[in-house]
Structure 1
Amino acid sequence: MTDASQYLLVCYLAARDGGEPVSPGYVADELERSPAVATETLQRLETQGYLTYEPYEGATLTAQGRETAADLYETYVVLSAFFNDVLGLAEPEREAMALAGNVSSLVTERVAETLLEATDVESVDVCV
């Protein structure tokens, strides 16, 4: 899903934080895209059934969009934690946002396991 996944994830996060509809300007700012590109992508996602888009109002996730975005969110959270806790990246959320739609559920599971193992190792080291 690549770039479209970022749009769904931004809409999902915005809906959780401030409600819907999510303005295309907000999406454009979050993804560092032009408002025209954000509007065009949101309209394309509407034709695919992921959201409804109303001009001058914004985007509202459909049930299908919410389900897809919730899965993306799980991947985003795991990747963000891994990038922060294990790799120590400066902007883990930005990196996770870029990759969330490009990682399979198997990779997400393995990263989560690696993250838990790294956390367990750190706990043991602290206790010793």
Structure 2
Amino acid sequence: MAPAQYLLAVRRLRADETTPVPTGAIAAELDRSPAAATEMADRLAERGLVEHEPYEGVVLTEEGDERADRLARTYEILCRFCRDVLCIDDYEAEASALVGTVSADVAERLAEVLLTDEKAPSP
């Protein structure tokens, strides 16, 4: 699973911006093993996107929070595109699979060009 899905999971699961999200909760959210979630937390920490405290969990850094916000917007746009334009039943799973591979610029263009019935989702 791509780092984007982990960042989105941390963003979704956090109670606030300072309380660590346990890696076990991330693993459960993404249907991964706790070891896989811990390994990804370490990788994200090396990239400066999270602070990982073993046995406590992870907290998004400022850079990680900004990245997660952009990913969340891209995810919302992709959900609408997959649901409204492509008529995919499991549009959330499709959007989740695409979110780390589609740039924010492409997502914004999708929103502008194809989702003209109303404004694109706000961040």
Fold similarity call, TM over 0.5? yes
**How many matched pairs?**
116
Give how far 1:23 is off: 1.3
State the distance in 2 between where 1:27 and 1:115 align.
33
* Residue 101 (structure 1) aligned with residue 89 (structure 2): no
TM-score normalised by the chain length of structure 1: 0.81
Structure 1 gap ranges (5+)? 121-128
Q: TM-score, normalised by structure 2?
A: 0.84
* Residue identity opposite 2:109 in structure 1: R
The corresponding residue for 2:70 is 71
Dislocated runs of 4+, deviation >6 Å: none
Q: Following superposition of structure 1 onto structure 2, how do residues 1-128 of structure 1 map, counting pairs within 5 Å?
A: 3-15=2-14, 18-19=15-16, 20-117=19-116, 119=117
Percent identical: 46
Deviations 1:23-66 (A, max 9, x none): 11121122221110110110111111101111221110000100
Tell which structure's C-alpha radius of gyration is larger.
1
Return the structure number with greater helix share.
1
Structure 2 residue ranges without an equivalent (≥5): 119-123
